[in-house]
Structure 1
Amino acid sequence: MKYVRFSYHNTISYGILEENTIKVLEGSPFGEYTITETAIPREKVQLLTPCDFSKAVCIGLNYIDHALEFQLPIPTEPVVFIKPSTSALAHLGTVQYPKQCNRLDYEAELAIVIGKKAKDVEVADVGPYILGYTCANDITARDLQPKQGQWTVAKSFDTFCPFGPFISDEVDPSNLSIESRVNGKTLQKSNSSNLIFGVPFLVSYLSKIMTLLPGDIILTGTPGGISGMHHGDTVEIIIEGLGVLKNTIG
């Protein structure tokens, strides 16, 4: 299924996306729900982030080509940082360009959406804890990253975690094409098969460090090819089976 969260007539609901129609849910995909008979055309609703998260756990340098472009060693363990809930931004939302930033980068990423509380989960048992997958953009104030000597400041501004437009449980995360486009030009192009640390390992690894809560997302890393964006740019993250996440730079 393809899950969306949306606003319609000042009411926020979850729904199932079926082509250009949304079937309204009674309840939530993170608990019990029923699919109602109410169907709303997609163009009549405002899509929100497909879930609320308590944290977005992000993996750095998880594609070999991305590590090489920064001339960094290939990690032997995941590089982990966290984006706060205030960084969340919906499809078609505007990324705020911070005044103290001189270079703002896009990073196309496959995001894992946690479906139920996960703690100390073994790799073989990860499946039931994943609701599905979505597109994400790990927006980064690149010039602040080396100055700070750590990554959280450069990656945690408000609006720095666009994700959506929907969550799908219909894709195989081990083999998905992934790309980014800025103003229609393809700048990143790779496949999730090139991940150094795959989805089951990451969920298990992180669950043994912190409790993953329903709605939390894990950004799995970005391929090589990142570069800067400018005011007024349109950035798109396209992942096979997961649609297009589109945002503008304010």
Structure 2
Amino acid sequence: MKLVTFQENNEEKVGVLKNDSVYTLSKLVELYNVSNNESVLMEDNMLSVIKNNDRDIAKVWDWAQSDFGQVSAAESSKNEVKISAPISNPGKVVCVGNNYMDHCIEQNVEPPKKPMIFSKWPSCIIANGEEIKLPKDSEQVDYEAELAVIIGKGGKNISEEDALDHVFGYTIINDVSARDIQFEDVQWVRGKSYDTFAPLGPVIVTKDEIEDPHNLDIKLEVNGKALQDSNTKNLIFKIPNIISYLSKGFTFEAGDIIATGTPHGVGVFRDPQVFLQSGDTCKIEIESIGTLENKVK
């Protein structure tokens, strides 16, 4: 399933995206309950859906796909609604640095022995199609294409063997970074967390649709020019290891986001360097998930 958060008539809703149609999840549930004499409950809020309705979503969507004619009342054209960031208020956005071997090579640094961790504030999340705004106090704003993991089931001291059971799905995040601020501060949070510095989405693909999250092509273009082109098989620390490692220190909650790192080709390590400029268009594509595109202002 490809889940989206969208705006319709000034109301936030959760939907399932299929081709060019969005099916409002709450309406699907209503139709499902009437047809099957059940009482499934589901709120129009992505965090609530992730926390409470993992199995119910699959059950309702399997029923809907058996005959789309019966759920036409829940259908809207994708072009008629405004797609928002899939999650705008996660408890945590945890990021892993230097987690691609090719990215370490371009920096001429040794790969880390343990995951290198930092965070971004949730307030910097924006949606597909919204603008990345350049701060006045930075002249070196960079892009970073990354696979993001959405936690579905919280927990602490999670084993690597059980880690993927705690994953709800996957999406795309652009870890936009003010390099001059990042390196000046030494610790990275401020340079990574300016408003609009976390484009996210446009969809969450549930984990059952991703056969292997460690074998997905990941690409980034600026103004149509390919600058990053790699595959998640090049991740140094795989997703189960990251989840297990982090959960030893803090408790994961449903809806938390893990940005798994970026591959080679970032602007600061290119020769000559490439930084985002007003008017640029930044587009990320990850296999099996889709495309995240944002203009720069």
TM-score, length of structure 1 as denominator length:
0.96
Amino acid at match of 2:78: R
1:204 CA displacement: 1.4
1:128 CA displacement: 2.2
More helix by share: 2
**Cross-structure match for 2:153:** 116
More strand by share: 1
Identity of aligned residues (%): 40
* 1:47 and 2:87 aligned: no
* 1:82 and 2:119 aligned: yes
Amino acid at match of 1:192: T
Query: What is the SS of the residue equivalent to 1:134?
Result: strand
Amino acid at match of 2:283: E
Query: What is the SS of the residue equivalent to 1:236?
Result: strand
1:218 CA displacement: 0.3
Query: What is the SS of the residue equivalent to 2:203?
Result: strand
**Cα deviation 1:121-175 (Å, max 9, x = unaligned):** 1111112211110111000001112211111111011111111010112112010
Larger radius of gyration: 2
1:71 CA displacement: 2.6
* 1:93 and 2:93 aligned: no
1:69 CA displacement: 2.0
Contact 1:62–1:195 (Cα < 8 Å) also in 2: yes
**Cross-structure match for 1:31:** 52
Amino acid at match of 1:233: D
Contact 1:91–1:162 (Cα < 8 Å) also in 2: yes
* 1:187 and 2:227 aligned: yes
* 1:153 and 2:190 aligned: yes
Query: What is the SS of the residue equivalent to 2:201?
Result: strand
Contact 1:111–1:133 (Cα < 8 Å) also in 2: yes
Contact 2:150–2:168 (Cα < 8 Å) also in 1: yes
1:213 CA displacement: 1.4
Amino acid at match of 2:126: L
1:29 CA displacement: 3.7
* Aligned residues: CA RMSD: 1.3
Q: How does 1:1-250 map to 2 (within 5 A)?
A: 1-26=1-26, 27=42, 28-32=49-53, 33=56, 35=60, 37=71, 38-51=74-87, 52-169=89-206, 170-171=209-210, 172-227=212-267, 228-250=275-297
Equivalent-residue separation in structure 1 for 2:116 and 2:226 (angstroms): 26
Contact 1:110–1:136 (Cα < 8 Å) also in 2: yes
1:100 CA displacement: 0.4
User: Which deviates the most, 124-133 or 66-75?
Assistant: 66-75
TM-score, length of structure 2 as denominator length:
0.81
User: Which deviates the most, 166-175 or 105-114?
Assistant: 166-175
